Amino acid sequence: MGQVVHTLNESEPVYGVTSLAGEIYVLRSKVRDEVEVYDVITYRSQRFLTLPKARLVADMTSCEHYCCIYISDVYVECIHRLDAQGAATQWPVKDKPWGLSVNAQHNLLVTCHVACKIKEFTTDGHIVRTVCPPGDVINPWHTVQVRSGQFIVCHGGGGDAVHRVCMISADWRHIVHSHGGQPGSDIGQYNGPFHLAVDNDEFVFVVDVYNRRVTLLSPTLHYVRQVVSSDQLKWLPLRVYLDTHKGFLYVADNERKFGSWRTGRVVVFSV
């Protein structure tokens, strides 16, 4: 199991966490100052950043190459882009964007959950391509592209018959490997696989929200172990970010009451 290193303060729900240029960025659901910035060593608060016209944020990722942060906005159907100084721009997705990741070409992969599409954009918002996963991949939440060009996708939620993680071929035509199936709590099952992180050796960290755990899979999506268990969390894990340089896993731990997310914090694990 990962060991808890630090816990950031409890406040509004956390919808994303990432790091850039020696700082931790935490995305919360607020009217303003949605992005909190902390020092990566001391965890002290540095500043707050506001997203103009943001309505319903869903995920966040960073790009070291362009030194910027990307944030998906489900309601406005756009991507917000923040540079390191906090200057904001945005571009339309024309679908409801959800999970975000950056690939080896420094492009942004946007998983559109409702439309069941993955869209690739340049850093200034030009569309590169739109793809659809194989037909049995329903309700995709997050997509990460690995060095081989293949894609890792997690999907399934609500009343879906299948909750799993899939490796999809680079041409998006077929599933190469998969892990999961019928929703459940046993090893090899998921109940809400909503977010992913991949390390330098292409091991995959999977947020299993309603089982309250983070599962580690091999590069071919075989079960390895649990890296975060339910007794290490106060609420439900919703997002995850892996700092491969420090070996730290940042988990957004959120409280859900009466059908909505109420409170959140970030728990830092050494893995």
Q: What is the mean pLDDT of residues 220-231?
A: 97
131 — pLDDT class (breaks 50, 70, 90)? very high
pLDDT for position 231 = 96
pLDDT for position 167 = 98
pLDDT for position 158 = 85
pLDDT for position 183 = 96
pLDDT in tens, 170-186: 999 999 999 999 999 99
pLDDT for position 5 = 96
Q: What is the 3-state secondary structure (H, E, C) of 52-121?
A: CCCCCEEEEEEECCCCEEEEEECCCCEEEEEECCCCEEEEECCCCCCCEEECCCCCEEEEECCCCEEEEE
Is the per-residue pLDDT at 84 higher than 90?
no
User: What average pLDDT does the structure give for the chain?
Assistant: 96
Whole-angstrom Cα distance, residue 72 to residue 122? 15
Instruction: Tell the CATH superfamily of the 13-245 domain.
Output: TolB, C-terminal domain (2.120.10.30)
Whole-angstrom Cα distance, residue 156 to residue 45? 36
pLDDT for position 4 = 97
Is the per-residue pLDDT at 232 higher than 90?
yes
pLDDT for position 23 = 96
pLDDT for position 53 = 86
Q: What is the 3-state secondary structure (H, E, C) of the chain?
A: CCEEEEECCCECCEEEEEEECCEEEEEECCCCCCEEEEECCCCCEEEEECCCCCCCEEEEEEECCCCEEEEEECCCCEEEEEECCCCEEEEECCCCCCCEEECCCCCEEEEECCCCEEEEECCCCCEEEEECCCCCCCCEEEEEECCCCCEEEEECCCCCCCEEEEEECCCCCCEEEEEEECCCCCCCCCCCEEEEEECCCCCEEEEECCCCEEEEECCCCCEEEEEECHHHCCCEEEEEEEECCCCEEEEEEEEEECCEEEEEEEEEEEC
Whole-angstrom Cα distance, residue 151 to residue 145? 4
From residue 45, alpha-carbon distances to 15, 48, 56, 113, 193 in Å are: 18, 8, 24, 33, 30
pLDDT in tens, 40-69: 999 999 999 999 888 899 999 999 999 999
31 — pLDDT class (breaks 50, 70, 90)? confident
Q: Phi and psi at residue 139, in whole multiples of 5°?
A: 60, 60
The domain spans of the chain are 13-245
86 — pLDDT class (breaks 50, 70, 90)? confident
pLDDT for position 148 = 94
Count of beta carbons in the 10 Å neighbourhood of residue 207 = 27
